[in-house]
């Protein structure tokens, strides 16, 4: 099977990322190429408050939200809801 980049396809280009077994299967599945993966990661880091270089949060970011959510989940589990 051929794996093509969904973002490249959207831009009108055909980017075959790689192939996977079964190699004799002509169907296509979708993934993401290195270039677009880096762009998506950069946008994610920017929106989550994590700097790409240090990996450290600057301000309220995804980790603080995640910890609050996990805390809430533990409370719900204790209440057996």
Helix (H, G, I), strand (E, B) or coil at 21: coil
Q: What is the mean pLDDT of residues 23-46?
A: 86
C-alpha–C-alpha distance, residues 16 and 8, integer Å: 9
pLDDT tens-digit series, residues 9-27: 888 887 788 888 888 888 8
Tell me which residue range forms the domain holding 59: 2-79
Q: Could you give the number of structural domains in the chain?
A: 1
C-alpha–C-alpha distance, residues 75 and 81, integer Å: 9
Q: What is the pTM of this model?
A: 0.50
Residue 16: what pLDDT?
A: 81
Q: What is the mean pLDDT of residues 19-37?
A: 87
């Amino acid at each position: 099977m051929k794996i093509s980049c969904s973002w490249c396809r959207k831009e009108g280009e055909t980017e075959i990322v790689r192939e996977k077994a079964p190699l004799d299967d002509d169907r296509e599945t979708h993934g993401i190429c290195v270039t677009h993966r880096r762009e998506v990661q950069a946008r994610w880091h920017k929106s989550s408050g994590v700097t790409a270089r240090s990996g450290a949060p600057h301000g309220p970011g995804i980790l603080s939200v995640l910890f609050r959510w996990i805390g809430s989940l533990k409370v719900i589990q204790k209440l057996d809801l």
